[in-house]
Amino acid sequence: MSHHNAKDTLSITDNRTGRQYEVDVREGDVIRAMDLRQIKVNESDFGMMAYDPGFTNTAFTTSRITEVKGGKGILEYRGYPIEQLAEQSSFLEVAYLILNGELPDRRELDDFVHEVTYHTYVHENVLTILQGFRYDAHAMGMMISTVAALSTFYPEAKNIEDPANRRVQIIRVLAKMPTLAAFAYRHHKGLPYVYPENGLSYTANFLNMLFRIGGREYQPHPALERALDILFILHADHEQNCSTTAMRVIGSSRGDPYCTMSGAMAALYGPLHGGANEAVLRMLTEIGTTDNIPAFMDSVRRGERRLMGFGHRVYKAYDPRATIIKRAADEVFEVTGRNPLLDIALELERIALQEEYFVKRNLYPNVDFYSGLIYQAMGFPVELFPVLFAIPRTVGWLAQWEEMVVDPEQRIARPRQVFRGHPRRDYVPMESR
C-alpha cells in the first residue's frame, strides 16, 4: 500500500443533486467500487454501481503471483521475466516458484520433483470412466469430466482450510494431469495405456505415455522434450485470464480444488481462450495456401471471421510468449521437419503487423498463434491442443486458487446486475392470454 495522504482522493460531483463526494485513491490508481454506493439521488436508492461487462476495467482481487504489463509486452512470474525462465528454468521449477513465491534450492526442487513423480498414477477406476467415452470424444470433454471425478477419490480435499491438505491435492492434480491427458489420447487412438515411468522427467514421461508403442524403448528426442518443457513454462500462469477468473469465482464458494478446476478447464476450452490454439490450426488448414490469404483477410476485415491466435485483452504489443514459441518452433522443425502451414502463419502475421485494420486493433500474435504449429509437428492431434494448454496452466489455476482461499479480503463471488426486464406485473390466467 503506497503512503496515503490527503491528495490521494477523487472529488466527485453528482450533477443530478449538486452533492460532492471524496473517494480515496489507493495503490496508485484504484478506487474501491463500494465507495461509489454512497452516491444517491434519493436516500432510498441502492446507490451507485460500476457497469463492466467482461470485467474490462475491474480488479476483483489483489495478487502476488504474475504480472502482465500489456503495453510493453512484459510477463513476469513472481517478478522473474518469462524470457529468463524459458531460457534457464524447467517447468517443475517454475511450478514450484509460482506455488511458493521463491525459486527452490537444490534440495527443495529435488523433493518437489520427487513428490510430483510419485503421484502420477490415477486410481484404476478412472480407466473405467475413460472407457465410457466414445473413441472420437474430444479430449477436453474427457479431461474436464475426469478431473471432477478425481474429487470422488479424495473426499478429504474438501478440507481446503488445512494448508497441508491443500498441498497434497495440488501435487496430485499437477502430477495426474499428464497421465489423464495421455490416457485420453490413447483411448482416442484405441491403443493400450502406457503407465507413468518414475525415471523420466515430467515432459519425457508425458511423451512416453503418449507415444510409446509396444516394448520398443521410447526415447523422446531431447529437443522435443525441451521444447515441450518451454511451452509448459510459457503457459503456466497469466494473472486473471478467463479460466483463472473462473477458478477464483467457483472456488470462492469454498468447494474442493478438483471440481473447481474442472470449471476452470471448461472456461479454457472456449475458442476465444485456450481453445484458440486448436482454432488456429483449423484456420491455417482451411486457408490451405498463401494464395487464399487475401480472400481470408477480406472476410476478417468484414468482421465475418476472426484471425485466431491474434489479439489480446491485455497485451497491446507482441505477446512475449509468442516470440519465444516462434524461436522454439525452429528448434522443433529441425527435428520434425518444417510444418508447411508455417508459411501461411508467417504471411498472416506479416499482413496483420502492417495493415491499418489490425494495427488499429492491436492485433498482434498471441501465445496460441504459433504453439499449435509445434504441437502438430510433434505429432499431437488438434483435439489435444487445449489439453496441452490445460496441463501447465494447472499450476497457475491452483496457485491463484490457494491465494484466493487464504486472502482475508475475498468473499463469495456474487456480482450485481443492471436490471432491464419487465417491471412488476400480475399473473394472467390462461383463458385471458
Binding piece for ligand SDX, criterion CB under 6 A, among 152-160, 215-223, 252-260, 358-366: 358-366
Smallest distance, Å, CB 305 to ligand SDX? 7
Of 35 and 368, which CB lies nearer to ligand SDX in the complex structure? 368
Binding piece for ligand SDX, criterion CB under 6 A, among 44-52, 137-145, 270-278, 399-407: 270-278
Smallest distance, Å, CB 298 to ligand SDX? 12
Binding piece for ligand SDX, criterion CB under 6 A, among 91-99, 236-244, 252-260, 333-341: 236-244
388 belongs to the binding site for ligand SDX (CB under 6 A):
no
| Distances, alpha carbon 123 to alpha carbons 114, 173, 388, 427, in Å | 19, 13, 22, 54
187 belongs to the binding site for ligand SDX (CB under 6 A):
no
Q: Give the Cα separation of 45 and 38 in Å (integer).
A: 9
CB 378 within 8 A of CB 224: yes
| Cβ atoms within 10 Å, residue 231 | 28
Q: First-to-last CA distance in the chain?
A: 60
| Cβ atoms within 10 Å, residue 160 | 19
Catalytic one among 123, 221, 273, 343? 273
Q: Give the Cα separation of 315 and 103 in Å (integer).
A: 26
Binding piece for ligand SDX, criterion CB under 6 A, among 57-65, 208-216, 252-260, 303-311: 303-311
With CB under 6 A as the contact rule, the residue among 210, 276, 284, 388 that binds ligand SDX is 276
User: Is 330 an active-site residue?
Assistant: no
284 belongs to the binding site for ligand SDX (CB under 6 A):
no
361 belongs to the binding site for ligand SDX (CB under 6 A):
yes
With CB under 6 A as the contact rule, the residue among 89, 205, 208, 241 that binds ligand SDX is 241
| Cβ atoms within 10 Å, residue 157 | 23
Using Cβ positions, the residue closest to ligand SDX within the complex turns out to be 311
User: Is 273 an active-site residue?
Assistant: yes
User: Is 368 an active-site residue?
Assistant: yes
Binding piece for ligand SDX, criterion CB under 6 A, among 79-87, 195-203, 234-242, 281-289: 234-242
273 belongs to the binding site for ligand SDX (CB under 6 A):
yes
- CA-nearest of 294, 248, 246, 249 to 273 is 246
Q: Which residues contact 79 (CB under 8 A, 6 or more apart)?
A: 67
Smallest distance, Å, CB 389 to ligand SDX? 8
395 belongs to the binding site for ligand SDX (CB under 6 A):
no
Of 201 and 260, which CB lies nearer to ligand SDX in the complex structure? 260
With CB under 6 A as the contact rule, the residue among 312, 373, 385, 387 that binds ligand SDX is 312
Of 8 and 347, which CB lies nearer to ligand SDX in the complex structure? 347
Of 18 and 54, which CB lies nearer to ligand SDX in the complex structure? 54
String of contacts with ligand SDX for each residue 52-91, x by CB under 6 A: --x-------------------------------------
Catalytic one among 35, 188, 312, 319? 312
352 belongs to the binding site for ligand SDX (CB under 6 A):
no
Smallest distance, Å, CB 52 to ligand SDX? 12
272 belongs to the binding site for ligand SDX (CB under 6 A):
yes
Residues with a known catalytic role = 273, 312, 368
Q: Where do contacts with ligand SDX occur on this chain (CB under 6 A)?
A: 54, 238, 241-242, 272-274, 276, 300, 306-314, 361, 363, 366-368
